[in-house]
Structures are given as C-alpha cells and as structure tokens.
A and B are shown apart, each in its own frame.
Chain A
Amino acid sequence: MVASSLRSFIKDVRNAKTLADERSVISKQSAKIRTKLRDDRLSNEKKRANIQKLLYLYILGEKTHFGQVGSINLIASDEFVDKRLGYLATILLLDESQDLLTLLTNMLNNDLQHPNKYIVALALNTLGCLSSTELARDLYPDVENILKNSSDPFLLKKALQCNAKLIQKDRSLLEIFPVSLIGSKLIDSANISTHGVLLGVCKVLQAILITFDKSFNKTGEDTATEQEDDDEYQEDVGILKTIAEYIQPLSYRLSTLNSKSLEPSYDVQGIQDPFLQCELLVTLKWFFKIGNNLGLEEITRHNTAFNDRLTQIATNTSALKNPGNAILYEVTRTIFELNLTQPLRVLGVNILANFLAPTKNANNTSNNVKYVGLNTLVSVVPEEPKAVQRYRKFISQCLYDYDISIKFRALELTFEIMDEENFVELTTELMNFLEKISKSHYHYATSYIDIDDSKDLILYTVDHLLEKFEVFTNSDDKTKLDALMNTLKMAGSFVDLDRTNEFIVAINNIDDLKYKIALLSKELAELLDEKKNADAESSACLELTIVWCIGEYVDLIIANPNTNKNIVNEKSIIQFLSKLNNTYRLSKESKMVHYILTAALKLSTKINDKALVEELRQIIVSHSKDTNLMTQTKSIHYELLFNQPDNIKKQFLQAMPKFEKKTTSRGLETHPIAKEPKKQNDLLLDLLNDTEFGKIATKEPTIAQPEKPNDVLADLLGSSTSKPKEKLQIPSESVLIHKGTEIEVYEKTIDISSGLAHLELYVKALNNKLTDIQPLCAVPKTQKITLSQLQPSNSMNAGETVKQSLRINGSGKLKLRIKMSFCVGDASAVVSEQFDYKLDQTI
C-alpha cells in the first residue's frame, strides 16, 4: 500500500502531459504532504509513505524544508524500517549548517549504543554526513567506544570513516584520540583488517596528517602564542612518531595488494582493489610530505624503501585497463608532489607519456588517460623539461585529437616545452595544426568542433606564438618569418586588429633582411595577382601588415631581382593601396586608414613616376575632410610634409629602427621554469611575472610605436614643439601609498566611475638620481590597465618627481600591485621596489 501510493505519485508525475500538468500534480502532492506531516496522530506507516513522497520531491528539486522535523521524528521510532528511512531523509534534507542538528544529538547518542549493528551503522553514517562542531564534540566518545570495543569490521569501517570526519571538524579531539588503537587492533589483526577497515584507517590517518600539515604551515606565521604553539607542536610530533610506525605495515599491505590477486570480490578488471591501493598511496604520500618537511627521522628512514615500493608498483601494474592506469596515475602524482629522486621523476614522466601514446582504437577510456596525462605533464615540465620534451611526438599527436579539451591541454603543453632547440620543429608542428583548425573553422558545419572552441584554440595559439617569438631571440629567422606570415594568412581573420602591431613589431625585428624581402615579394605577388585572388578573401589583419610592409620595404621589394615585375610593380602596389583606401574609407577602422596614409607618404619618397606620386597624394588628400578628427589631422599634416622637398622628407621617413619592445627580463620570466603553479585563487597572486594569466601592462618610454612617425611629424609641423621642462609638484590631495628606500609613491584619484578609474601616481626620488625608471603594474583579472608614459621623463634627480597616470577598465575592487624598477645613480644594476595598494572604491 505504501509502495503503491509512492508509485502512483511517481506515475502521475511521469504521465503528466505538459509542464503545467506536472506542476499541478507536484504542488497538490506537496501541499498534501505538508498537512499530513503536521498531524501527530498519523501512523508510522503513513508517515513513511509521506516522507518517501517527500524524498521524491527532493529529487525533483522541489522545496522540502517542511519535512525536516518529520524525518527526524521518524528516527525516534523503534522500528528499523522507520529508522532506516528517517536517517536517509535526514541526510538528504538537512545539511551541516542547520540548527536543527541539535535535535539529533540525543537520538544519535542512543542509536550509537544500540545492540543492532545496522542501526549503529545508520547513526554513524548520518553523523559522518551531518557533523557540526557541537555534534562532533558530543558524540565523539560514542564513536571511540565503538572503535575500542567492537570487533565487527562492518562497524569498525563506518566508525573509522566517521571518526576521520570528526577529527577534521574539531582538531582538539586529536588530543584524546587513542592513535595506538589503529596499529594493535586494526592493522595487525587479520580477522579485523578487511579492505573496508583499511580504507577507514587510511581515512583517519589522512585526516590526522592533513590537520597537522595545516597547523604546521600556520605555526610560522604568528608568534604571539609561542609557548602554547610549542606545546601543541610537541604533542603533534608525539602523535606523528606513533603513527609513523604504521608506515611499514601499510606499505607492505600495498605491495601484497599490488602483486597478488587474492579475492575475486575486490578484483576490478584484473587489478586487486585499486581503491584501497590508491588510498594507501595517498596516505603514505602525506606521511612523507610532512615527515620530510620536519626532517622527522621516524618517517624519513623509510624514504628509500618507499621509493623502491613506488618503482615496484610502477613496473608491476598493468596499464592496459583503467583501474591500472588509476594506480599508475596516483604513483606519478605521489612522485611529483613529493619531488622524489630524478630517476623516479623520469619514470613518472614516462608513465604519463605512455598515457598519451596513440592507441589503435580510440575510445573515451584512452581519452581519459590522455587528459590526465597532459594535465599532469603541464605541471611537471618545470621540473623535468628534457624528459617531457622527449615525448613531443606524442604531444603533437594529441593536438589532432577528436576531443577539444585534449587539444587545449596538448597546446598548452606544447608551448610549455618549447625552447630554443625545438623551436623550429614545434613551430612547424603548430603551423600544421593552425592550418588544419582554421580550415575546419570555415567548414564548421561539417566539422565536429564548436566554432567558438576553434576560435579560442586559434587565438591561444597566436598569442602564445607571438610571446615565444619574443622570448627566443636567437632562433632561426626564416622559421619565424614563415610562421608569422602563415599565421597571419591562416588565422588573421580571428585576430583583433589591435594585436596586429605585435606581428608588425615581430616582422620588423627580424634581422634577415634578404629573406624578409624575398618572402614579402612572394606574398605581394600572390596578393596582387588578380587572377588568383578573385575568390580568396584576405583578412584585415593581413592587409594591415602588408600595408605597413609596403611603406617600409617597397623599394627593396621592387629592387629584388626575383620579384615578378609583371605583377608586383609600383603601379600595382599603388593601385592596391588606393583600392584598400576606398574600401576602408567609410569604415570605422581608422587604424587601417592611418596605416594606409603613412604607407602612401613613405612610398612617395621611394618612387619617381610623377603620375604615381600624384595618385599617392590623392590618397592622402582624400581624408582631408574626414569626419574622424584624428584621421583628418593626419591627412593634413601628411599633405604638408608630402609637399616638402625630397631631402627633408627622407629624413623623417627613414626605415623603422628595431623595436626594443618590453624588457628582456620579462622575456626570461615567461620561461616555463619561472612559472608559478597555476590555479591560484587569489587574483593578485598571478601577477607581475605571469604574463599568461595576469593582465599586465608594461610601459617603457623607449618603446617606439609603429605610429611614431606621426608623432614626430605632428610635433614638427604642429604648434607646440618642445615644451620647457616644468618641475612636477606632488598635489596636496594625494596620499602616500609607499615609502621605500629610494622612492616614495603618492596616489591621486582623478576619477572613478563604473567600469573606469583614472589614477595618477607620483614617484619621488628620495636620495639618489634614478634613471631608466620602469613602472610595472598589475590589476585583478577582471580588469585591464593602461599605463601612459612617465611624465616628464623616465629619469629624475634626487628630490624630483615623475608622474604616471593609470587607467583601469573593467569591474571589481580596485587593487594594484606595483613594481617600480630603476637604476640608482650611475650604476647599471636594476633595483626594484614592489608594493600593493588597495582602494576602497569599486568600479
């Protein structure tokens, strides 16, 4: 009858034709249960029926709070049926944060001493799920009692699990917990120490060790209660020494488990209880983690034996099926977390690399090991770069995996292992990858990759490639240039136009002029060839780069004997420019127009044909009435300059110098070795040095922006040339935010509105002349920061002040981490001072 009424309710819900029908069935039933549960005279059988229906509501995601007391009442019954359901409902409907838990104290206390072991087990299970600190304190004696007096493995395993939870809830329980109990009774006795009990033992030991680990890490921080801490520390070490005796028996159990197949009941696809093996490994790992930190002889003497044990497990465990892989994976995590000896680390890398090895039948099992393999390898590269690099073939293959998350991991890892030596090889590999993925992007309808995913992949690749190009300055120029061009061609349409600067800088900085010109002339030929070009669409990014290159190198390209003069000649190039000019004239992309203007101006000094020069002038003049003020100004300035005699013009329009972009020290810091562990929660932690995740703005006054000619010209032609240097005063309303040995920094808030903040920093040199001042500034990930140039210059004498203004876009609390580096006096060594500053305001 009970079942049928729950059954009929479930059936009603399932049979509901529409969502509205379903809602009405549910709300009717919910109201009915609510009234029924209030009725004290209801028989237990009816109560159960109602609670069961309530649980079904819980699964459906409905409100069930009104049944909490009802469930607890059911526990008070003497019937097992009632208790079983009552406990289940209590676990589901209540959680640890509720005050109602105090109602449970007495019932749990009674049931923990119940003669029926299943009722005790239910109570233990509930206490394990819902233990507030009060419950933990009040009921701990009962749990300990079971551990001491019972010899039933079923009860012991539950009591152990529960005990572990209680220790974590209330650390002071450790003082009274008889740890020696574990050894004499639970590990040594063959009848008692079943797998379940051992799992419980592991859990308790882990709970103790993790609690210690937390408090040991904390002790260093506050010294106020030193005496107390010291006593506690001694006590903890005492406990540690006692439990250290279990290392050997546990390690022995692990090795027997690993080498023999004993009971079919624990077998998982040919592996004996992988669950227990992993728990044992983790427990031992915690022992050594803490023991090695403290240099505790009782633990460290087992180090060698443990290393041997790990090697033994690594060699014995079959990697054919998932359970075996789970154990191998745990072994490698142990190796790297404890940072064990080099041979073991190499062994670890080998295991992980084998996870990546291509298998004949790709299925999701092989993908799971690939995923964890790649994920772990990424974190391992800093320690064992060479060992990981050896497997770059496997890693590259994962780039072409079916699964997007594996692609991403493989990509991350590829950049992680890139260095000067394998730069060429990996770049070629990445080019192949880019080609494939950007093609699949165009035909995404037939491809399995989501369009956004493939865009993410492409952008990630481009960003990191550019970064690597900056870092590896010594590597092969040809590869770099080819890669740059290919990237632009394949991925240009995904790249933001603002990022094109980085491509241009990279191209400009390549020394091999001859190859550069050869390549450019080939590219131009392809681009200008109208027959070929009819259907190919080119990206704005590529066009912008080409326009810049035309301005910069056109004379060299045309002079190059290998250039196909039929296609690439002065006339066709100028046609190309004016065609582009027409295309972009009315668009909002003023950046493109600016580049076209500059290119036209530069070109005018490089060709002699009068008619063509006039065409160039037309391009420039065409913007003299542009609605965009910047463009208009530019057009008029350029026109003035255009009409200057050649020899004056040439001086301003010389080839760009090599960009000294960003400091080399930053380049070094992006190298994998210096990378901090990822997944930091604190936004401010992945700061200054971690370019990949933090948002950083660096500003060096020496950076020459591609549009610099414009500034020079503007100054030359405009009204104000060089202003007399004014001495900068620190405004009175600014606040002191940092006082270091060499500098004082003041902050003045100009404006804070939603989404935007404008601040000014005043840096005052205290005692010495400071030169080459470089401010580095980082904000939380939700924000973006723009630094302007230092005013009036990047050096100052003692007592002088420079100003740095900051603009922050985004949202969230205003927090800054600022690092000022500079040279003191005439010394060449760079000194830096770093500090954090938090404003009260939020944007």
Chain B
Amino acid sequence: MNSAVFKECLDIFVVFLRIGALTFGGGYTMLPLLQADIAQKRKWASDEDIIDFYAISQSLPGIVAVNTSMLIGYKKRKIPGLISACLGMICPSIIIILVIALFIKNFLAMEIVGHAFNGIRVAVAALIVKTAFDMGKKCFVDGACVLIFAMALLVFTLVDISPAIPVVAGGITGIVLARRHLS
C-alpha cells in the first residue's frame, strides 16, 4: 500500500472513529453525523448517497451503522477504505464498553451519568427530527414520494416489522411507478 493510500485510509479510520464515538443508540443516530462530516464537510458522498447506503444497509445482515460506514468507505477508497471505515466504527464501542465493564461497576447507578445521558438523548431526538426534515426536502421530488413516505411511516409505526420491509416495498413501488411513467 503506498503512502498516499495509507494516509487516506487513516483519514477514513479517524473520521469513523469519531462518528462511532458520537453515535448514541441505533444506526439512525449516526445520520446527522454523516450529513455533517461526510456530506457537508468532506464531500466523500452526497446526502442522497448516504440515504441510499443506509437503505441498502437496512436490508443486509449485520449492524446497520457498520454496513453504512463500510459502503461510504468503499466509495471513498475501495476495499482499503471499506475496512478502515469498519474498524474506525467498531473501535470506540470496544474500548468504551471494555473500560466500563472492567472498571466502573455501577456505571448506570451514577446520578451524573443518568442526567448527562438524558440531556444527550433529548439532543439526539432533535438531531434526528432535523435529519428527517432535511431528508424529506431532498427526496420528496413529487406527490408519489410523499405518499410512499406516509404509507411507510404509518405501517412501520403501527406494526412491528423489520425495517427491511418498508425499504423493499418502497423499491418495488418505485419500479412500478417508473414503469407506468414510461409507458
């Protein structure tokens, strides 16, 4: 591996290390960070790319956040980028969880931890709301899109199904609508 590729991979590793350390909860909580770090600041992938990668990741086996970061890493620097992104994403978890498990016996019973995390969760809620709006602005290109959104939201909120189902159903609807449009 030449030094330019190595430097680029190190860069990818560090960016995903930071994103991993700031993701609280499920894969969707990384989306505001991806928009800020990957799309706006570094332009490694567009907002639309990120939505697409996230959608693909929902339908693949494994952890959504890791799958999404690998697809972005690949777009930036092929296979070495994919592996750097994966390692960056999982390192904070390994380190933080092991430190807590080894040294801090009553982590959750600590009052200050509870208050801080309640504050963080409120911020994460606001970040996700903003992300949903930003994404809506980007992908509601016509009335059919709004309809797909409303249907998926209704079904996914009311029925306990895998997130892969709305993704696949949206894809099929997209193909059917495009076919009709063309004919």
Partners in one complex: no
**B residues within 8 Å of A by Cβ?**
none
